[in-house]
């Protein structure tokens, strides 16, 4: 049998046709793959020597889905449904052979096969929801027919990957075999199907499992209620649910049509565009233009951490979780004990939720060595400083580390805003110094800003990025500037949020508008959570800002039961009449008259200066690309992923509109709103951050 095309191949092995897809990196269903599949199935069906067909993939995975890069482009024949019909209607059994991951359209292809055999290490899933989509090739109609409605709802709304053994248990795959013998056993299974004259099992014809949910709308209502918080703001989960409802209530072909319509609607919408942008952005962020595979990686086996406070402890947990031995240093036994106790308590809380076992806790704690002397860090390959945020203190720590750390060790600071160049200057080896800006709580937050100082060497940067990957972070390489990328932009939003309040908006108005936009929390609720007294001291308080006045009144945030909001016992927030009155008086003392501020103004004034700052950051080369800024904001600051990130959002709004609006505010509010030069130029050239003008 001939090779079908560049990405598919058909061979005959003693009556069994083996149809192989070989389309790196992930065997996505590109036009070429679809064409090869269709041709292969047709040839195998026509060939009298073929008794059954085995569909298998080369490389690291089974089909990982539709080719996302084709979305939004003119469709190329054959369509996926056409290919699927050829498989499902084949008069000869077709067996999907799954290794790696069968995802999205990949699993949907497997679901039109008559049987599915999977390697033990494989996983299956319909992750379209994470791209703002739904499975658009029958997945929502076939999945519940195999696994039942409750499971199907869970799978399509989370996009979770189901390991092969669990997939077999729920009826998604028919046989699980050892990885090493997958191909051989799959062919043997095909022979068995032929020998036993097993029926051509078409999932579309099954009805029992969906019938069980027919006429039970409360099942869906309950699912929506239980997950309302998780789905807030997202369109795709609701559309996925509606498709499963259609699978239950409509005949198969009608359900398919409904699914198709909703898929197309989502595909054309802003949310999916944003989530697909984020998918590629979160992969691109790892690519460093001037640091490639030729840059040597430094060996890192042992970690040292200076400071066992909230940050130091959280950072340590990342490395312990990944199996690295960590030495953690504090200045007093009491602080050390407290730090270790917090780490243990965090692990115990995780264990209570069933995510780790008691053995896991002990294994991780055993990797941790407490110490009172910095000399204990002499053998560490990477030392991360997490002490008080003060330049003199940091420089002193680095000067000492310079004397103690072994040659070649990476010396990292966890500063969130200080000048890493200056910190590096306290050592005789600035090339080894880098910023690793973890976000709080460091054991939970995915984001890591890797801060490249002027003299940081390439091997140090590459090693830091690789380590970040190993400990499960999403790392973005940024340059030295006050606040780096994330906090520098946040400062813009904070300034406007506070200014808006003095002009007449109330803290809960600002928070509500940002929450409606999709942030989990607004800036004032956030301040209350973090504590208004961060960096505040009664002795030096001058009562000249709202925050100071609130602290002086002992309204220091959630922990004191009052801040910008009032809190009840269960920490539920209520707008505070006291604060409202206080704001009015404070503004009046400053000679301001209160006015009505529209929601639109709140949103524009909080977000557009951030976008503007993002443009300046790019101009100055402090971020590599606009999409890195988006990754930072989605992972570090709760920017809703269905809005892609601040720079993608600017593209969605239209850069000319952003510039115009900034100009408008500049007239009344001054230079803070002056558009960045690059933003104006890009807007004037009709470009966008995701597609710079020259590439269009």
Annotation says 154 is catalytic? no
Q: Which helix (H) or strand (E) holds 176?
A: strand 175-177
Out of 216, 268, 283, 403, the residue judged to bind ligand 3H9 by CB under 6 A:
283
Contact between residue 385 and residue 398 where contact means Cβ atoms under 8 Å apart: yes
Annotation says 46 is catalytic? no
Binding mask 5-44 for ligand 3H9 (x = CB under 6 A): --------------------xx-x----------------
Q: Which of 585, 603, 630, 433 is nearest to 511 (CA)?
A: 603
Contact between residue 61 and residue 124 where contact means Cβ atoms under 8 Å apart: no
Q: Which of 218, 102, 113 is nearest to 164 (CA)?
A: 102
**Pairing, β 303-306 against β 326-329:** parallel
Window contacting ligand 3H9 (CB under 6 A); options: 99-107, 188-196, 335-343, 493-501? 99-107
285 versus 510: smaller Cβ distance to ligand 3H9: 285
Query: Is residue 573 part of the contact set for ligand 3H9 (CB under 6 A)?
Result: no
d(CA 294, CA 9): 35
Q: Which of 344, 337, 348, 350 is nearest to 308 (CA)?
A: 337
Out of 21, 39, 55, 66, the residue judged to bind ligand 3H9 by CB under 6 A:
66
Three-class secondary structure of residue 74 per DSSP: coil
Q: Give the number of residues in contact with ligand 3H9, rule: CB under 6 A.
A: 26
Packing angle of the helix pair 310-321, 333-352 (nearest 10 deg): 50
d(CA 1, CA 53): 13
Rounded to the nearest whole angstrom, what is the least distance from the CB of residue 428 to ligand 3H9 in the complex?
Answer: 39
Task: Report phi then psi at 216, rounded to 5.
Answer: -125, 65
Under rule CB under 6 A, which residues in 542-561 are in contact with ligand 3H9? none
Q: Looking at 13, 46, 88, 108, which residue is catalytic?
A: 108
Alpha carbon distances (Å) from 256 to 148, 243, 246, 250, 261: 17, 9, 9, 9, 9
Window contacting ligand 3H9 (CB under 6 A); options: 84-92, 131-139, 379-387, 437-445? 131-139
Out of 96, 131, 193, 266, the residue judged to bind ligand 3H9 by CB under 6 A:
131
Out of 64, 168, 513, 650, the residue judged to bind ligand 3H9 by CB under 6 A:
64
Provide the CB-side half-sphere exposure for 148 (13 A, CA).
8
406 versus 469: smaller Cβ distance to ligand 3H9: 469
69 versus 369: smaller Cβ distance to ligand 3H9: 69
Query: Is residue 68 part of the contact set for ligand 3H9 (CB under 6 A)?
Result: yes
The three-state DSSP-derived secondary structure of 312-325 is HHHHHHHHHHCCCC
d(CA 645, CA 626): 9
Out of 36, 135, 307, 523, the residue judged to bind ligand 3H9 by CB under 6 A:
135
Out of 51, 90, 101, 416, the residue judged to bind ligand 3H9 by CB under 6 A:
101
Rounded to the nearest whole angstrom, what is the least distance from the CB of residue 36 to ligand 3H9 in the complex?
Answer: 16
Rounded to the nearest whole angstrom, what is the least distance from the CB of residue 17 to ligand 3H9 in the complex?
Answer: 25
Query: Is residue 628 part of the contact set for ligand 3H9 (CB under 6 A)?
Result: no
Alpha carbon distances (Å) from 369 to 332, 372, 373, 436, 539: 15, 10, 12, 21, 38
d(CA 246, CA 141): 8
Query: Is residue 268 part of the contact set for ligand 3H9 (CB under 6 A)?
Result: no
Out of 44, 55, 103, 112, the residue judged to bind ligand 3H9 by CB under 6 A:
103
105 versus 312: smaller Cβ distance to ligand 3H9: 105
CA dihedral sign of residues 601, 605, 606, 607:
positive
81 versus 171: smaller Cβ distance to ligand 3H9: 81
Rounded to the nearest whole angstrom, what is the least distance from the CB of residue 678 to ligand 3H9 in the complex?
Answer: 26
Contact between residue 54 and residue 11 where contact means Cβ atoms under 8 Å apart: no
235 versus 329: smaller Cβ distance to ligand 3H9: 235
Out of 11, 13, 15, 69, the residue judged to bind ligand 3H9 by CB under 6 A:
69
Out of 40, 127, 255, 675, the residue judged to bind ligand 3H9 by CB under 6 A:
127
127 versus 430: smaller Cβ distance to ligand 3H9: 127
**Pairing, β 8-13 against β 16-21:** antiparallel
Out of 40, 65, 339, 507, the residue judged to bind ligand 3H9 by CB under 6 A:
65
Out of 8, 20, 61, 84, the residue judged to bind ligand 3H9 by CB under 6 A:
61
What does the buried/exposed string (b/e) look like for 57-95 if buried means 16 or more CB atoms within 10 Å of the residue's CB?
Answer: beeebbbbbbbbeeeeeeeeebebbebbbbbbebebbbb
Q: Which of 449, 451, 431 is nearest to 440 (CA)?
A: 449
Q: Which residues bind ligand 3H9 (CB under 6 A)?
A: 25-26, 28, 61, 64-69, 80, 101, 103-105, 108, 127-128, 131, 133, 135-137, 139, 280, 283
Residues designated as active site? 108, 128
């Amino acid at each position: 049998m001939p090779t079908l095309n560049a990405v598919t191949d058909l061979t005959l092995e003693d009556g069994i046709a083996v149809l192989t897809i070989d389309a790196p990196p992930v065997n996505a269903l590109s036009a070429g793959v679809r064409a090869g599949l269709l041709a292969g199935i047709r040839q195998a069906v026509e060939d009298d020597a073929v008794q059954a067909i085995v569909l298998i993939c080369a490389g690291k995975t089974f089909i990982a889905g539709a080719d996302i890069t084709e979305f939004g482009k003119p469709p190329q024949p054959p369509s996926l449904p056409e290919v699927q019909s050829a498989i499902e209607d084949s008069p000869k059994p077709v067996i999907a052979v799954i290794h790696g991951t069968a995802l999205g359209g990949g699993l949907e292809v497997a679901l039109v096969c008559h049987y599915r055999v999977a390697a033990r290490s494989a996983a299956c899933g319909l992750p379209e929801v994470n791209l703002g989509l739904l499975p658009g090739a029958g997945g929502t109609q076939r999945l519940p027919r195999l696994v039942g409605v409750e499971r199907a709802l869970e799978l399509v709304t989370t996009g979770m990957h189901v390991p092969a053994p669990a997939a077999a248990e729920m009826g998604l795959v028919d046989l699980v075999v050892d990885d090493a013998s997958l191909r051989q056993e799959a062919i043997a299974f095909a022979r068995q199907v032929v020998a036993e004259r097993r029926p051509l099992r078409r999932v579309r014809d099954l009805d029992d499992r969906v019938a069980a949910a027919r006429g039970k709308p409360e099942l869906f209502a309950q699912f929506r209620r239980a997950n309302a918080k998780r789905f807030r703001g997202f369109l795709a989960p609701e559309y996925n649910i509606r498709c499963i409802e259609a699978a239950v209530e409509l005949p198969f072909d009608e359900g398919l049509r409904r699914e198709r319509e909703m898929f197309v609607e989502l595909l054309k919408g802003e949310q999916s565009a944003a989530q697909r942008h984020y998918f590629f952005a979160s992969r691109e962020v790892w690519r460093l233009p001037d640091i490639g595979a030729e840059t040597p990686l430094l060996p890192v086996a042992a970690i040292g951490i200076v400071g066992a406070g909230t940050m130091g402890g959280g950072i340590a947990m990342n490395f312990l979780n990944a199996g690295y031995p960590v030495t953690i240093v504090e200045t007093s036994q009491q602080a050390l004990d407290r730090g270790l106790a917090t780490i243990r308590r965090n692990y115990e809380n995780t264990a209570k939720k069933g995510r780790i076992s008691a053995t896991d806790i002990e294994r991780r704690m055993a990797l941790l060595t407490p110490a009172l002397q910095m000399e204990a860090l002499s053998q560490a390959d990477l030392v991360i400083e997490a002490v008080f945020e003060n330049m003199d203190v940091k420089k002193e720590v680095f000067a000492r580390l310079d004397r103690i750390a072994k040659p070649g060790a990476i010396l990292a600071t966890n500063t969130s805003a200080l000048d890493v160049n200056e910190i590096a200057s306290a050592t005789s080896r600035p090339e080894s110094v880098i910023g690793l800006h973890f976000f709080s709580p460091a054991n939970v937050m995915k984001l890591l800003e890797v801060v490249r100082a002027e003299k940081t060497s390439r091997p140090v940067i590459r090693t830091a990025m690789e380590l970040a990957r190993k400990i499960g972070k999403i790392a973005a390489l940024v340059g030295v500037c006050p606040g780096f990328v994330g906090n520098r932009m946040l400062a813009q939003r904070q300034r406007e949020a506070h200014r808006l309040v003095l002009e007449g908006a109330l803290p809960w108005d600002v928070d509500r508008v940002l929450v409606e936009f999709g942030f989990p929390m607004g800036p004032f609720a956030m301040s209350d959570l973090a504590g208004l007294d961060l960096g505040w001291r009664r002795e030096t308080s001058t009562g000249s800002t709202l925050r100071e006045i609130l602290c002086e009144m002992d309204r220091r945030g959630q922990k004191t039961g009052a801040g910008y909001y009032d809190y009840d016992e269960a920490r539920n927030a209520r707008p505070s009449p006291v604060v409202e009155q206080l704001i009015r008086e404070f503004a009046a003392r400053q000679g301001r008259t209160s006015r009505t501020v529209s929601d639109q103004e709140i949103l524009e004034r909080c977000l557009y200066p951030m976008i503007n700052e993002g443009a300046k950051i790019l101009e100055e080369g402090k971020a590599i690309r606009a999409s890195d800024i988006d990754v930072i904001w989605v992972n570090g600051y709760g920017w809703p992923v269905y809005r892609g990130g601040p720079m993608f959002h600017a593209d969605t709004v239209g850069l000319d509109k952003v510039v115009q609006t900034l100009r408008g505010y500049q007239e009344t509010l001054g230079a803070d709103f002056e558009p960045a030069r690059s933003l104006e130029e890009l807007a004037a050239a009709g470009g966008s951050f995701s597609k710079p003008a020259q590439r269009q």
